[in-house]
A and B are shown apart, each in its own frame.
Chain A
Amino acid sequence: MPSKILSGLTAALLAASVFVAASATAAAEPLRVGATYITSGTDPAKGSNGWALTSHGVGENLFTVDKEGKLVSELAEKAERTGDLTWTITLKADRRFSDGTPVTAKTLAAGFDNTFANNKAALATGGKLNFEAAGDLTLKVTTEKPVPLIQSLFAEWPLIAYKPVGDGNAVFTGPYRIAGFKTDASIKLEPNAYFAASEKRSPVEFRKFGDAQTMTLALESGELDLAFGLPSEVVTRLKANPELTTKSFPVGYQYLAFFNTTRPLLGDVKVRQALDLAFDRKELSAAISGGEPATGAFASYFPFAGRQARPTDLAKAAALLDAAGWTKGASGILEKDGRPLRLLAITYPQRPDLVTMLPVVKAELARIGIAVDTQVVENISQVAAAGDFDITLWAQHTAPSGDPAFFLNSMLRSGASLNYAKYASPDFDAILNRFAAEGDPAKRVAIALDAQARLFADAPASFLVSPVWYVGVSKRLKNYEPWGSDYHVLRADIGEAK
């Protein structure tokens, strides 16, 4: 009998230890997240790393846009205007970097100085900013150009807050800290112990996929807890899987086409206007199974968005091309002086919807006699910057800081760093200049509408679709709520079911 009791106790002990071990393993099990992009490095001042690091939950800004699209404070408590070009920002007390050091005005100023010295995109709204620490939690900011709403400027992606620690390295304040990084492959994240409720967060393994279909298969095989940016064609299949939940959400992104205005064929505004009229936005929306025809530069839920979908008018497009001297050749393609109207349209695989749209764009332009060669390029930023395209299909969040000025200034102002269309219009720039002096939200809406009207007339870009995006989650992340496009994929409130 004692031996039976002993055996029973041993068995119970073993079972309990296995259970405890399994629980401990489960607790330490990282969340597995997949996407078709990853930060290209950990230097927050390089390229678009500032955006990616915030998206990965590593970095924060002084101000940010919440899930309702409102501008709210993040590391800052408040911002007060003290002059035409001067502002005083008060930081929140008791915030710390992930190395445990306190967030002070001096350390943040050093980080911002580094960003402004190395990242031209930071200059887009206020020009060069100067920073001076007037106390541990008081930061004085002087802008080069008048800025009506400094909170919005500090919500822009280049202005991620960090403490530089030399040689391109930095320490951040977000809910996660970087535990490992493999270029082009993966990033390992651990909860930042100095961020509130860190004990409630699991580590994360964020994996980049070269192909969205492979990412979908990884989700289906149970190897991902979150697949961000699923191709729309797999959604029906995934909805039939009881182990997974598929969620869609409207995004502030716009799918648009930049026209390279420096290329000979597209230097003529009539040709660009014809292209704009030839796009059938309903057809494009249907092709990606998610989205609405674009009304302009901004998603329709913004107050500064256009009210009506951009028109399609093939007869008018044909008339414009005729007026530009293009006549139909023997092959059915328009010709001028014996030269065919043949364009190169490119896009990139990291946004699978754009790849889906590319052949539709080709077919739509063929209807008005324009031949299109298509290319999918891996690294669109470099190709677009080099100008090796006629049309590039692009996905862009056009109001990431809840304000219309940033996108228009950084991507369409003459000489702007990301002006891939190489659009140069003094009239358009003059409209944008009005943003700098106007703080009244209603009047800023009017300026944004004026700017869009100018863009519709000059057609350096064509606004195509306001998309919805899809994410797939496992049961472990069934409470995950996607919002904020891909600006906040990993957040403090990730919704993990413990």
Chain B
Amino acid sequence: MHPVRLGIQSITGMLAISLASFTVINSMPADPVAIAIRVWNLPATDETVAALRAEWGLDQPLLFRYCDWLTRFLTGDWGRSFRTGEPVLGEFLERLPISLSLGMAGLALAIVFAIPLGFFAAAHPKGVADRFSRTLSVFVQAVPGFWLGLVLLWVLGVQLRWIRLLAQDWTAAVLPILLIALHSVAVLARVYRRDLMETATQPYFRTALAKGLSERQALWRHGRCGALYALLAAVRSEAGWVIGSTATMEILFGLPGISQFLVQSIAARDQMVLQAYVMVIVLWMLVMNGGAYLAMRFLDPRLA
């Protein structure tokens, strides 16, 4: 697919998702004005209700509100949070870097570890790397990340004193990133291995062996690009899981990222925040998809 066509499709998709999500979010039960009056203990007069509805634009027809929101959103005015009263963009800019850093670093680390693990698992089926990656895969599926995080905090923070639980610098992110990466390493390594194993069944692989290459050399020379292609395809779906898993880590490690903020915003029916979050996630997925697509195109020029 041509990048221009991909771009047009992405923009169309974003608009469609923004309209659908705006409709759904605005149709959620419970009136945000009623919630705000209760939570902020505002005088529940008709004047207060009318003032809040006007301030938040809730007195306008849905389509008008959507067009108004979209125009503002595209010009950098993401509205004000119903819950905190602060500009949504500011709230996101304060918190989003933490969540995105966690997610991206976790994913990058997972890719870095998954490639050698998957390769050695494929090169030596039933060997140490293969058994380890299989065990890891079962382990991360079976053990909740929250529980594993608590155990690691106890072992590394309390018993061994290797990490500081309340670190205010970059070290605070090390363990959450490792935990996020752990799940993806297991998934991506198995994908990488599976593709390499398929390569090993191909006639050209046997030809390479006949030419005198060792199995490991043949796998690396003739299998790595195809396996990397498969791995990048898997990264696209893993990206969604990674950004979701940051929520658990933020709560466990007390990191003030966007996920904690989102949980509270859902409870408050904070429509501006929820809509902005949907758009950020869509953007994240588009960027990850686009990045993976470009990388795959580089690996396989037939895509061009």
Contacts and interface: CB of A to CB of B under 8 A. Distances in A.
Contacts, number: 114
Interface of A: 32, 40-41, 46-47, 118-123, 158, 168, 182-185, 207-211, 213-214, 217-218, 220-224, 377-379, 381-383, 385-388, 417-418
Contact of A211 (B30, B91, B161, B252): B252
A417 B260 CA distance: 26
B154 A217 contact: yes
A118 B44 CA distance: 11
A162 to B, nearest CB: 16
B51 interface: no
A379 B261 contact: no
B260 A386 contact: no
B170 interface: no
Contacts of A47: 39-41
Interface of B: 29-30, 34-35, 37-44, 83-85, 91, 94, 150, 153-154, 157-158, 161, 164-166, 250-256, 260-261, 263-264, 267-269
A121, A185, A222, A377 — most chain B CB neighbours (10 Å): A185
Contacts of B39: 47, 381-382, 385
Given A217-B158, A382-B39, A184 B30 contact: no
B150 A217 contact: yes
Nearest to A348: B267
Contacts of A385: 34-35, 38-39
Contact of B256 (A40, A122, A182, A379): A182
Contacts of B85: 168
Contact of A185 (B40, B41, B158, B254): B254
Contact of A379 (B34, B150, B264): B264
B157 to A, nearest CB: 5
Nearest to A116: B43
21 contacts: A32-B166, A40-B84, A47-B39, A118-B40, A119-B40, A158-B41, A183-B84, A183-B94, A183-B261, A185-B254, A214-B165, A217-B154, A221-B157, A221-B158, A223-B164, A379-B268, A382-B38, A382-B39, A385-B39, A386-B35, A386-B269
Given A379-B263, A379-B267, A221 B150 contact: no
A209 B254 contact: yes
Given A121-B41, A209-B254, A382 B35 contact: yes
A220 B269 CA distance: 38
A41 B84 contact: yes
Given A221-B158, A382-B35, A386-B269, A120 B256 contact: no
Nearest to A220: B158
A319 B158 CA distance: 53
B258 to A, nearest CB: 11
Given A217-B158, A221-B164, A378-B267, A210 B250 contact: yes
Contacts of B94: 183
B263 A378 contact: yes
B34 A120 contact: no
Contact of B150 (A119, A213, A381, A382): A213
Contacts of A183: 84, 91, 94, 256, 261
A329 to B, nearest CB: 28
B34 A386 contact: yes
Given A183-B84, A207-B166, A382-B267, A214 B252 contact: yes
Contacts of A40: 84
Given A214-B150, A217-B150, A218-B166, A378 B158 contact: no
A347 B65 CA distance: 35
A187 B37 CA distance: 26
Nearest to A379: B267
Contacts of A221: 157-158, 161, 164-165
Nearest to A387: B30
B29, B85, B158, B261 — most chain A CB neighbours (10 Å): B158
A220 B166 CA distance: 12
Nearest to B268: A382
A208 B85 CA distance: 21
Contact of B42 (A118, A218, A224): A118
Contacts of B158: 217, 220-221
A386 B30 contact: yes
A46 B82 CA distance: 13
B18 to A, nearest CB: 25
Nearest to A121: B41
Contacts of A32: 166
A118 B83 CA distance: 15
Contacts of B29: 388
B264 A378 contact: yes
A207 B263 contact: no
A226 B241 CA distance: 36
Given A120-B37, A386-B34, 19 more contacts: A119-B41, A119-B42, A121-B41, A123-B43, A183-B256, A184-B261, A211-B150, A217-B153, A222-B161, A378-B267, A379-B264, A382-B35, A382-B267, A382-B269, A385-B38, A386-B30, A388-B30, A418-B38, A418-B41
A118 B52 CA distance: 13
A218 B165 contact: yes
Contacts of A120: 37, 41-44
A377 B41 contact: no
